[in-house]
Each structure stands twice: as C-alpha cells, then as structure tokens.
A = this chain, B = another copy of it.
C-alpha cells in the first residue's frame, strides 16, 4: 500500500460512483458494508468494477463472508499516507 501514488489515488477518487461508495463507508463509521448495501443506480458488473478500482488503489479492503463481500475503508493507512484525504471526501458538497 505504501506504493500507492498520489495520482493513482486521485484517479481512484475521480469518479462520482466511487466517491459515493467511500462516503457510504465513512457514514458506516468503521463497520464493514456488503457491496450490496451501497446504493447506486448502476449494474452489478459496474459496481463490482468500481470496488475493484478502489481496492487496487488501496482505498478499501474486502473480506468474503459467505457469498457477501464485506468492505471497509483502510482508514488508518490512508490517514497515514494521505493525511486529510478522507476528511476531504467526507465533506459533502
């Protein structure tokens, strides 16, 4: 995760859907969410794609539980590597 660059993480957060996902996770305050719990008017395939992008960029962490994949923010690492970033995303505007 320490090899995630600033442009890469900006890229990951440059899509409205992905911003929405991160905001939902912020609202969940540490609780992991199933992909399913995140409301977005896009197909399953596209949603899966966006989660994959966030995962690759080190923004989220996913763990399978049965058929669900529980997703949580990698808040600690993000705050260390990119301090202020999550707070910025959290400010909704």
Contacts and interface: CB of A to CB of B under 8 A. Distances in A.
A38 to B, nearest CB: 16
Interface string A7-50: 11011011110010000000000000000000000000000000
B7 A14 contact: yes
**This chain: how many copies in the complex?**
2
B11 A7 contact: no
Nearest to A18: B7
Given A11-B14, A14-B11, A14-B14, A6 B89 contact: yes
A31 B23 CA distance: 36
Contacts of A5: 16, 93
Contacts of A89: 6
B7 A16 contact: yes
9 shortest A-B CB distances, which residue pairs?
A: A84-B84, A11-B14, A10-B14, A10-B13, A10-B10, A7-B16, A14-B14, A84-B88, A7-B14
